[in-house]
A and B are shown apart, each in its own frame.
Chain A
Amino acid sequence: MSLLDLFKKKGSSDVAKDRLKLLLVSDRANCSPEVMEMIKNDIIKVISKYMVIDAEGLDIQITSTESENKNGSVPALFANIPIKDMRNSD
């Protein structure tokens, strides 16, 4: 480790804090992996009506985002849906 790294490196307490913040958001949202899977499948179904998407590459997760009403961070459903084609195949 170089001297520069020493200054740049976050202490493990910051890592713990960041991990916890994300973890608690999904814990509090009370979303089991089964529910997430169901949401994912439903999203695929709906979007597929309008465009061709890469169902394999679809990624959804619950994270937090800054609320517009200044009450700190709020849970948010984040979905990354790669589009293969804008037109539906049929």
Chain B
Amino acid sequence: MSEVIVVTSGKGGVGKTTTTANIGTGLAKLGKKVVMIDTDTGLRNLDVVLGLENRIVYNLVDVVEGNCRLKQAMITDKRCPQLYLLPTAQTRDKSAITPEQMIKVIDEIKNDPEGFDYIILDCPAGIEQGFQNAIAGADRALVVTTPEVSAIRDADRIVGLLDAHGLKDHEDLIVNRIRMDMVNRGEMMSIADVNDILQLNVIGAIPDDENIVVATNKGQPLVGDESMAGQAYMNVCRRITGEEVEFLDLNGKGGFFKKLSSLFKSDKR
């Protein structure tokens, strides 16, 4: 039976789509069979982050409206044969799909004889219909936030709505874009601070890493590579599968050379 995970945040721009792309890809790299569904109808981006934008023929709205079969709309990722993307329509709006239709699509994937392990839903920003569609069929939620007042406030609101939807105790927190230099100076809330405020299980702590921008430029999720963010995302994936994984030291206590080079970097300023 597949587990349905919605990636949500309330606030826009905190890294939902990047997180969805990396977690979907990472789980597939761990040997799981994964479908990612973009539910941000009208503002789809999961396809670009994954580098699959040129492969789209049919989309989620086509499936719902009966213009094609589900399997025709599911794009396979050539780099990762276990990974599928179900994009949504770019020229429609959120009202093109209802929560009931969303559940129907998810049920069809769940009952697929191929046996998918995970269905990951990329939720749009906001708390309106797009959000309602995304959470409708979810078993579990990953709430993405950044260590900023606005993002944490919105995350708290989202958690309240997820609780009301029956997902209480099935919510985990991903703190994204952490800058340890700022945390150490006392100018950015730490993971402990965010955890203290939101009282949610922290399943991931992702550093603010310029490699994320590079990866998005190329359309290749960095999960599993040697970058800090790549390692952090892979750790999240392993925790999702139930493995206990220690948290990375985001201070980057790499080797002697790494420390040396960071010394020079700070000297230049």
Contacts and interface: CB of A to CB of B under 8 A. Distances in A.
Chain A interface main SS type: helix
B125 to A, nearest CB: 17
Interface residues of A, number: 14
Most chain B beta-carbon contacts within 10 A, residue among A13, A19, A28:
A13
B152 interface: yes
Contact of A20 (B186, B187, B197): B197
Q: Number of contact residues on B: which range applies?
A: 10 to 19
A11 B156 contact: no
A17 B156 contact: no
Most chain B beta-carbon contacts within 10 A, residue among A11, A17, A20:
A20
Nearest to B154: A27
Given A11-B185, A13-B189, A20 B160 contact: no
A13 B149 contact: no
B186 A12 contact: yes
Contact of B153 (A12, A13, A14, A20): A20
Given A19-B149, A20-B152, A21-B197, A13 B183 contact: yes
Nearest to A14: B186
A16 B156 contact: no
A77 interface: no
Interface in B76-113: none
A6 to B, nearest CB: 11
A38 interface: no
